Chain A
Amino acid sequence: EVQLVQSGAEVKKPGESLRISCKGSGYSFTSYWISWVRQMPGKGLEWMGRIDPSDSYTNYSPSFQGHVTISADKSISTAYLQWSSLKASDTAMYYCARGAGTGDYWGQGTLVTVSS
């Protein structure tokens, strides 16, 4: 069974750093891209970027380029989404999904709350 399991909810202060994770199982992790999607409270889905776990090649949406970093460790079938300096506006649910241009399987989501 294909599964993407994300790390738990986080509460952070503005300016802090954070890395959340997405662990794939039930398939060959290096055969499928992983994408990250943001959903702000009460809003729609926004694509942030994607990574090819086989070589860690990444693409970012212009809206998120420079503000987040996507990485992967294929040895443990895990992809990451990282911030070096969080803002209150980063408060959102973050989903990982399997796929380069489409998402067939999704993680359960990680809620990130940034508040002073």
Chain B
Amino acid sequence: NFMLTQPHSVSESPGKTVTISCTRSSGSIASNYVQWYQQRPGSAPTTVIYEDNQRPSGVPDRFSGSIDSSSNSASLTISGLKTEDEADYYCQSYDSSNPWVFGGGTKLTVL
């Protein structure tokens, strides 16, 4: 089994750019797609990035995803931060033995 490790929390000011990392413990990050989910307080998760770097319709282009094989990690970058971006963010991936694996979640504070 592999794990996905995220920072517990990040904070940044409105208008700035923040990047949240997600490191895979074993197996290649490039082998299986990574998704990113946003969960605002009291709400269900919603998808902000799927298949490493694809944005669902309706998600602003301020959200972008990438993977880095050298560090075996994925990243979610949010530019032009808004107070409405304050939420928990979860990365998620899978492999043939583990259908869904979530990272522990990162609390984004926009202050």
CB pair B105 A45 closer than 8 Å: yes
| Chain A: CB-nearest residue to B105 | A44
CB pair B92 A102 closer than 8 Å: yes
Q: Give the tally of cross-chain contacts (CB within 8 A).
A: 59
CB pair B44 A106 closer than 8 Å: yes
A100, CB-defined interface residue at 8 Å = yes
Q: Chain A contacts of B44 at CB under 8 A?
A: 95, 106-109
Contact of A102 among B50, B104, B105 (CB under 8 A): B50
Per the CB 8 Å criterion, the residue count for chain A at the interface is: 21
Q: B interface, how many residues as a size bin?
A: 20 to 34
CB pair B45 A101 closer than 8 Å: no
B interface, CB within 8 angstroms of A:
32-33, 35, 37, 39, 44-47, 50-51, 56, 90, 92, 94, 99-105
Known: A50-B99, A102-B33, A106-B45. 17 other contacts (CB 8 A): A35-B99, A44-B104, A45-B39, A45-B92, A47-B99, A97-B45, A100-B99, A101-B99, A102-B47, A103-B35, A103-B37, A104-B47, A104-B50, A106-B44, A106-B46, A108-B44, A109-B44
14 contacts between A and B (CB under 8 A): A35-B99, A44-B102, A44-B103, A45-B90, A50-B99, A61-B100, A100-B99, A101-B32, A101-B94, A102-B100, A104-B47, A105-B47, A106-B45, A107-B44
